Structure 1
Amino acid sequence: MSDTHIWRFFDDNDISGYTLIIPSVAVGNVGQLASDLLISSFDMVRIASVYSTAIIPVLGYDPYDLNSSKLSSSCEVYKCATRNLIVLQIRAPLVYRYAKPFLNEVVLKFKEKHVKDIVILTSSFAHEKKYISTSPFRYVANELFSRKNEIKRLNWMEHEFHDNGLKIYGGGFASLLFQICSEHTMPCLVLYKYCSEGNNIPDAYEMVHYIANLLPLFSEKKDLMSQLVEPVSWKLLFGRPPPIDIY
């Protein structure tokens, strides 16, 4: 651990065999919103807080509990033991010059803890979508990812590679993190959705629905929508309404 990346774990329980979800700060923040939805729906427990010079510092109220006296920071880790799921929620953009060392440490940190695989959630500019009538979702998985046969069964559309490697325009650090995972022989999947800026809550719901087809996170005996719980912080997603005094 370096002085520029400080991990504070509140829970040292074993997380070997867990799936780690990491949202990339990207167009529409779809990955972050989807992660918020998962954290809130499963009432996940915060197990760590991360400080790094790579992350723009942000501090605020607990986004999932209005009655909590705890503060939330730019980067925190949440755990759901019943579903073997970990979410590394990142709430601020990464500083470009420090991004690679930080992401490298993230992968090594969770590889040491024997996490099973990493799923990166992100998004891409809507105007980059070439085939209009197809699904708005695309994926890319490395050879180590164990669920590739299930993905083929689901008939997901794969990202189109070009000569310059993996490029997801508007996708933030997703491509870099995928490369780092592959370099460290960590099974990894990137799932992204073409979208535009605006109210991206519907995109987050769609992403959770999509990933739920692959990962056994929700009960098949109940309707998926009935199992999703919106974070209380979404009520202020666009700030307060304009004051009536201005009219």
Structure 2
Amino acid sequence: MDETIIWKYFGEGEISGFTLVIPSVAVGNVGQLACDLLISSFNMVKLASIYDTALIPILGYDPYDLNSSKLSTCCEVYKCIQRNLIVLQFRAPLVYKYAQRFLNEVVKKFKEKNVKEVVILTSSFAHVNKHISSSPFRFVANELYSYKNKIISLKWIEHELHDTGLQIYGGGFASLLYQICTEQLLPCLVLYKYCSEGNNIPDAYEMIHYLANLLPLFSEKTDLKSQLLEPVSWKLLFGRPPPSDIY
């Protein structure tokens, strides 16, 4: 079996010095929803589609443009030149047996392209949170991550590490990806929120607000919420309404 990732590029691939944001497919899909908000709000341009045996083959309409005739796949890369930002969006879980090999190759590829850092957005089961009176957000950053001093000033709560390494229950491949980034000497931050399944759109908004305190992505002159644009695909997030003729 060919285990080489296929990258189909749609535009200029220069991303040196960019911040790479990757969502982990996790409980409530908070990371993916947050990335949807980033892609839609910044009108990010599709840079590439990725094909691999680790990816479940999914095909659909463009989730950010109703008038587009282009299709979207399971794993795509989006780029915003103005903010030196790229987002690697996932729309399905990874196939477990191929996940580590796939993530290793992806991190290696982006490191070769000299990305500045990796930010992993994910979530964890709400019932695992032992300190419910504190913020529902937690972070983990490796020693290479350049914003650690700012994180300290923001008084973010650090995830409690165990002897067995980083464990985020319900967090998908976030722990594995963090380990791979650290092994490949790439600055990396994991940001996650304790949540439950349901309507997790408010969680995504909260995550973007939290992230905006750290990274200079949005203008400070106007309200952050007014700068966020929900993708059109969210209108059908829970399916179509029930047909009126059943009443």
Q: TM-score range by the shorter chain?
A: over 0.9
| Alpha-carbon distance in structure 1 between the residues aligned to 2:11 and 2:102 | 21
Per-residue deviation, residues 191-235 of structure 1 (Å, max 9, x unmatched): 000000000000000000000000000000011011000000000
Q: Does 1:68 align with 2:52?
A: no
Q: Which residue of 2 aligns with 1:93?
A: 93
Equivalent residues of 2:118, 2:189 under 8 A apart: yes
Equivalent residues of 2:3, 2:53 under 8 A apart: no
| Alpha-carbon distance in structure 1 between the residues aligned to 2:217 and 2:240 | 34
| Alpha-carbon distance in structure 2 between the residues aligned to 1:17 and 1:112 | 11
Equivalent residues of 1:58, 1:74 under 8 A apart: yes
| Alpha-carbon distance in structure 2 between the residues aligned to 1:168 and 1:225 | 28
| Alpha-carbon distance in structure 1 between the residues aligned to 2:39 and 2:120 | 15
Per-residue deviation, residues 47-100 of structure 1 (Å, max 9, x unmatched): 100001101111000000000000000000000000000000000010000000
Question: What is the CA-CA distance between 1:246 and the residue it aligns to?
Answer: 2.9
Query: Amino acid of the residue matched to residue 144 of structure 1?
Result: L
Query: Amino acid of the residue matched to residue 183 of structure 1?
Result: E
Q: Which residue of 1 aligns with 2:144?
A: 144
Per-residue deviation, residues 153-204 of structure 1 (Å, max 9, x unmatched): 1000000011221100000000000000001000000000000000000000
User: 1:15-30 alignment to 2 at 5 Å?
Assistant: 15-30=15-30
Q: Which residue of 2 aligns with 1:221?
A: 221
Q: Which residue of 1 aligns with 2:12?
A: 12
Q: Which residue of 2 aligns with 1:239?
A: 239
Question: What is the CA-CA distance between 1:242 and the residue it aligns to?
Answer: 1.4
Gaps of 5+ in 2: none
Q: Which residue of 2 aligns with 1:191?
A: 191
User: 1:98-177 alignment to 2 at 5 Å?
Assistant: 98-177=98-177
Per-residue deviation, residues 16-59 of structure 1 (Å, max 9, x unmatched): 00000000000000000000000000000001000011011110
| Alpha-carbon distance in structure 2 between the residues aligned to 1:212 and 1:105 | 29
| Alpha-carbon distance in structure 2 between the residues aligned to 1:3 and 1:110 | 18
| Alpha-carbon distance in structure 2 between the residues aligned to 1:127 and 1:6 | 39
Per-residue deviation, residues 100-136 of structure 1 (Å, max 9, x unmatched): 0000011001000000000000000000100011000
* SS of the residue 2:30 aligns to: helix
Equivalent residues of 1:4, 1:51 under 8 A apart: no
| Alpha-carbon distance in structure 2 between the residues aligned to 1:97 and 1:173 | 12
Query: Amino acid of the residue matched to residue 136 of structure 2?
Result: P
- TM-score by length of structure 2 reads 0.98
Q: Which residue of 2 aligns with 1:208?
A: 208
Query: Amino acid of the residue matched to residue 160 of structure 1?
Result: E
| Alpha-carbon distance in structure 2 between the residues aligned to 1:244 and 1:231 | 26
| Alpha-carbon distance in structure 2 between the residues aligned to 1:112 and 1:195 | 35
| Alpha-carbon distance in structure 1 between the residues aligned to 2:143 and 2:126 | 28
| Alpha-carbon distance in structure 2 between the residues aligned to 1:180 and 1:53 | 19
Question: What is the CA-CA distance between 1:4 and the residue it aligns to?
Answer: 4.1
| Alpha-carbon distance in structure 1 between the residues aligned to 2:39 and 2:19 | 14
| Alpha-carbon distance in structure 2 between the residues aligned to 1:155 and 1:57 | 41
Gaps of 5+ in 1: none
Give the superposed CA RMSD: 0.9
| Alpha-carbon distance in structure 2 between the residues aligned to 1:79 and 1:162 | 35
| Alpha-carbon distance in structure 1 between the residues aligned to 2:168 and 2:55 | 21
Q: Which contiguous aligned blocks of 4+ residues in structure 1 show a shift greater than 2 angstroms?
A: 244-247
* SS of the residue 2:132 aligns to: coil
Query: Amino acid of the residue matched to residue 150 of structure 1?
Result: K
| Alpha-carbon distance in structure 2 between the residues aligned to 1:113 and 1:8 | 16
* SS of the residue 1:106 aligns to: helix
Q: Which residue of 1 aligns with 2:53?
A: 53
Equivalent residues of 1:5, 1:50 under 8 A apart: yes
Total equivalences in the alignment: 246
* SS of the residue 1:242 aligns to: coil
